Amino acid sequence: MTANEPVSRSDQLTGDGGTDGLRKRISNVTSKLKSFSSWSHDVCNSSCIPSSCDVVIQFPKDAPPYIIKWLNYTISSLESSITIQVCKHESTGLTNLLCSASFHGLMKGAEELSLKKQLKQKYGGQLKDFFLEDAGMYQDVEDTELFFTSEERQHILLIC
């Protein structure tokens, strides 16, 4: 690409016209996200720890409120199955977005990602790409807490 050529949208996103720049940026962002268990351990005296949380997005004390509201609105408007709770930690002053998804939303995401899940023994017991219409065939699908691991929940929320 020369200095006079127009920059495409993908070039703007990746910074270099390839996927390496985009991967680096996504990796940069995801490295800033904390798992709920890690976050709740750090701020265990918080009064707003929900019963279910898959991803925590933490903002510094000086983050402008409009940025937090914008991100909350943007995520909520993109996917209705994601619920977000805004939580300001009392002692640190940090604001957190606590994100979780409905079980049905996670299953839709698993299908979009072709996530491999184990079939029940009566269907062979092997790993198979998840399909929502075949949900009853997968091991532990009846247990919404057991079916997806914490890592799978986070992956679905971050990618879908």
Judgement on whether residues 71 and 93 belong to the same structural domain of the protein: yes
Q: What is the distance between the alpha carbons of residues 19 and 11, in angstroms, rounded to a whole number?
A: 9
Give the distance, in angstroms, between the CA of residue 105 and the centroid of all CA atoms in the same chain.
12
Say whether pTM exceeds 0.75: no
Query: What pLDDT, on the 0 to 100 scale, is given for residue 44?
Result: 42
Q: Is residue 85 part of a domain?
A: yes
Q: Is residue 64 part of a domain?
A: yes
**At CB < 8 A and 24+ separation, what contacts does 76-80 make?**
79/105, 79/160, 80/105
Judgement on whether residues 116 and 88 belong to the same structural domain of the protein: no
Judgement on whether residues 92 and 37 belong to the same structural domain of the protein: yes
Judgement on whether residues 94 and 117 belong to the same structural domain of the protein: no
Query: What pLDDT, on the 0 to 100 scale, is given for residue 51?
Result: 64
Query: What pLDDT, on the 0 to 100 scale, is given for residue 16?
Result: 45
Q: Domain of 150?
A: 103-159
Q: What is the distance between the alpha carbons of residues 8 and 128, in angstroms, rounded to a whole number?
A: 38
Judgement on whether residues 116 and 150 belong to the same structural domain of the protein: yes
Query: What pLDDT, on the 0 to 100 scale, is given for residue 134?
Result: 95
Q: Tally Cβ neighbours within 10 Å of residue 82.
A: 20
Query: What pLDDT, on the 0 to 100 scale, is given for residue 25?
Result: 53
Query: What pLDDT, on the 0 to 100 scale, is given for residue 7?
Result: 42
Domain count, the chain: 2
**3-state helix vs strand vs coil in the chain, percent to 5:** 45, 20, 40
Query: What pLDDT, on the 0 to 100 scale, is given for residue 2?
Result: 44
Tens digit of pLDDT per residue, the chain (160 long)?
A: 444 444 444 444 434 445 555 555 555 555 555 555 554 545 444 556 666 788 989 999 999 999 999 999 998 888 778 889 998 888 888 999 999 999 999 999 999 999 999 999 999 999 999 999 999 999 999 999 999 999 999 999 888 7
Q: Is residue 134 part of a domain?
A: yes
Judgement on whether residues 152 and 120 belong to the same structural domain of the protein: yes
Judgement on whether residues 153 and 120 belong to the same structural domain of the protein: yes
Starting at the earlier edge strand, list the strands of the sheet with 82-88. 55-59, 95-101, 82-88
